[in-house]
Copies of this chain bind each other. A is one copy, B any other.
């Protein structure tokens, strides 16, 4: 069998099934694994397949277009993300809400981190999926198109079954009187459930949102364990929160 012919066959298989194992290929066409590996390598260099350990993947399937740009206050959110990540250890169960700050965190997770992330936020899930070592649990239910997150009783029931180590909430508004607040009733229900299911509750908020409030309360300040903003922990704006017993990072 000719080399080109073989490669065409491989490419065909990959496109048909979206993936292919080198072991099965070398039985199929009866050549050594080395030959297959070299073929896959060439095809990968030409950009026709994606080579992975043990085989190859179709290019088309793996390219999920994700809108990574144009995030509001991206720099601040990156700072917040870094602080948040320092709270995550290997083996942890992590609950996260949606929101661009969470998204930024998801993108910044170190590749060697092994943990389990649970979320109903589609954009966040997309990011977690790209991570090599993270197990992803998706919370199902009806999808709210506005917030791109699953909402509803099913979702809440599922979250309540979880016993997570830590929970990260992208926070829309936080102040001393009202605690954390939001403007979407369904999302509020969800976040409440998330807080109940976690040992530790972490709020991520850019400084702009500190000392603002929204119509619906998620929880009082006392329920929050840690508050993360892009400001240094000793910033005067944050002083009252620290005094209220919240650990400020």
Contacts and interface: CB of A to CB of B under 8 A. Distances in A.
A88 interface: no
Interface string A192-210: 0000000000000000110
A183 B143 CA distance: 30
A3 interface: yes
Contacts of A72: 15-16, 58, 60
Contacts of A21: 2
Given A61-B8, A71-B60, A145 B126 contact: no
A104 to B, nearest CB: 11
B148 A142 contact: no
A148 B140 CA distance: 14
Interface in A29-78: 48, 50, 52-55, 57-66, 70-73
Each complex incorporates copies of this chain amounting to 2
Contacts of A5: 19, 52, 57, 61
A62 B61 CA distance: 22
Interface stretch (A89-97, A117-125, A226-234): A117-125
A154 B60 CA distance: 29
B123 A143 contact: no
Interface string A117-161: 000101101101100000111111111011110100011001000
A55 to B, nearest CB: 6
A150 to B, nearest CB: 5
A155 B137 CA distance: 11
B142 A2 contact: no
A143 B158 contact: no
Given A2-B54, A136-B143, A138-B143, A129 B148 contact: yes
Given A58-B72, A129-B148, A139-B140, 12 more contacts: A2-B52, A2-B53, A8-B62, A16-B172, A17-B183, A61-B100, A120-B140, A136-B142, A136-B145, A137-B143, A138-B143, A138-B150
8 contacts: A5-B61, A16-B172, A61-B100, A61-B148, A122-B122, A122-B129, A129-B145, A136-B142
